[in-house]
Structure 1
Amino acid sequence: MTTNKGNIILSDVSKIYSNGTVGLEDINLTFNHGEFVMIVGLSGSGKSTLLRAINRLHDVSTGTILINGEDITNASGNKLHKLRRSVAMIFQNYNLVKTSSVYRNVMSGRVGYYPAWKSAFGIFTKEDKAMAVANLKRVNLLDKYYVKAKDLSGGQQQRVGIARAMMQEPSVILADEPVSGLDPKTTKLVMNDLKRLNEEDGITIVLNVHSIGLALKYASRIVGLKNGRIVYDKFIEDVDKRDFKEIYREAGDLSDNGEADDEPNNP
Structure 2
Amino acid sequence: MTENKGNIEIKNVSKVYPNGTIGLKDINLDIKQGEFVMIVGLSGSGKSTLLRAINRLHDVTEGEILIDGQNITKATGDKLHKIRRSTAMIFQNYNLVKTSSVYRNVMSGRVGYYPAWKAALGLFTKEDQEMVKTNLSRVNLLDKYYVKARDLSGGQQQRVGIARALMQEPSVILADEPVSGLDPKTTKQVMNDLKKLNEEDGMTIVLNVHSIGLALKYSSRIVGLKDGRIIYDKPIEEVDKRDFKEIYREAGDDSHLDAGDDVEAD
With normalisation by structure 2, the TM-score equals: 0.95
Asked if the contact 1:94/1:157 (under 8 Å) is kept, the reply is yes
Aligned to 2:184: 184
Aligned to 1:195: 195
Opposite residue 160 of structure 1, the aligned amino acid is V
**How far did 1:252 drift?**
2.8
Partner of 2:91: 91
How many residues align? The count is 258
4+ aligned runs moved over 2 Å, structure 1? 252-260
Q: Which whole-Å CA distance do the structure 2 matches of 1:207 and 1:144 have between them? A: 26
Q: How far off its partner does 1:255 sit?
A: 4.5
Between the aligned partners of 1:259 and 1:174, the Cα distance in structure 2 is 21
Give how far 1:4 is off: 5.5
- For residues 196 and 95 of structure 1, the distance between their equivalents in structure 2, rounded to whole angstroms, comes to 22
What amino acid is aligned across from residue 121 of structure 2 in structure 1?
F
Letter in 1 for 2:237: E
Shift of 1:129: 0.6
Task: Name the counterpart of 2:129.
Answer: 129
In the other structure, the counterpart of 1:13 is: 13
| 1:169 to partner: Cα distance | 0.2
Code of the residue aligned with 1:113 in structure 2: it is Y
In the other structure, the counterpart of 1:78 is: 78
Most deviating of 54-63 and 245-254 = 245-254
Is the contact made by 1:51 and 1:176 (CA closer than 8 Å) also made in structure 2? yes
Describe the shift of the 1:246–1:257 C-alpha distance in structure 2 as closer, same or farther (beyond 3 A). Answer: closer
CA shift for structure 1 position 257: 6.3
**How far has the Cα of 1:211 moved from its partner?**
0.2
List gaps (5 residues or longer) in structure 1. 261-267
Amino acid in the other structure paired with 1:242: R
**CA deviation profile, 1:207-237 (whole Å, cap 9, x unmatched):** 0000000000000000000000000000000
Look up the match of 1:25: 25
Q: What is the correspondence of 1:1-267 to structure 2 with a 5 Å cutoff?
A: 5-255=5-255, 258-259=258-259
Amino acid at match of 1:70: Q
* Contact persistence 1:56–1:73 (CA under 8 A): yes
- Is the contact between residue 244 and residue 257 of structure 2 (CA under 8 Å) also seen in structure 1? no
